[in-house]
Amino acid sequence: MIKWKRKAFRGVGLLFPATLYGFGRYGAAVTLAVLTLFLAILVSLEISRFRYPGVNRWLFRHFQDYTKDKERARVSATTLYLSACWLVVLLFPAPIAVAAMTFLLVGDPAAELVGTRWGRVPLLGKSLEGTLAGLLACTAAGFLLLLLPGLALDAKTVLGGAAAATCMELAPVPVDDNFTVPLFSATVMHLVWVFL
């Protein structure tokens, strides 16, 4: 079952690529400051809920529309996503960081929506239809980013990043894809950008 409130809440994550792009040469500093603030709050909550079971129960009772049951005993997807964003903004050029953060935010919901509703062909625990939808969403978002003035991206970099995000979303790795997708897609885009 798709949790629509959770998906809508994830859209708030677009604040970070928008801030990085919108503040120009100050974008990285401002975005890192905002991410650090949010992460400080979330990490405090993570520590509290793991240390005090009552806090964990309260959070999952009152925010059940925004959480998954599997997050009860592990770090939340939101904390992992913001951690990945922080690293991507710190380590990569702004255009690549903007694209990498955007890919997860559009690719993951598209893959889940299509895979849940129309998925028929199994593929590594997911569905071929959902995977293709995620790839299409990332590619479309990437080409829309190419239209932004001053964002120094090109088509091959965007395509490489979209493919990397899709592959990492599909890959059966033990680390949550909210953390791995932005970092892997940013790494691939940077390599394409530098060497191709």
Q: Which residue, chain included where needed, has tokens 């129309």?
A: 118
Of 98, 94, 100, 84, which is closest to residue 42 (Cα–Cα)? 84
- Residues 176, 188: contact at Cβ < 8 Å? no
How many distinct structural domains can be found in the chain?
1
Give yes or no for residue 5 having a pLDDT over 70. Answer: no
- Residues 178, 77: contact at Cβ < 8 Å? yes
DSSP 74-117: S--HHHHHHHHHHHHHHHS-HHHHHHHHHHHHHHHHHHHHHHHH
Q: Which of 91-100, 167-176, 180-189 has the lowest mean pLDDT?
A: 167-176
Give the predicted TM-score (pTM) of the model. Answer: 0.92
Q: Which of 28-42, 57-71, 137-151, 154-168 has the lowest mean pLDDT?
A: 57-71
Give yes or no for residue 1 having a pLDDT over 90. Answer: no
Of 109, 148, 147, 112, which is closest to residue 129 (Cα–Cα)? 112
Would you state the pLDDT for residue 64?
Answer: 77
Domain that holds residue 36: 4-195
- Residues 19, 27: contact at Cβ < 8 Å? yes
pLDDT tens digits, residue range 100-148? 999 999 999 999 999 999 999 999 999 999 999 999 999 999 999 999 9
- Residues 89, 28: contact at Cβ < 8 Å? yes
- Residues 166, 131: contact at Cβ < 8 Å? yes
Q: Which residue, chain included where needed, has tokens 């509703």?
A: 117
- Residues 10, 111: contact at Cβ < 8 Å? no
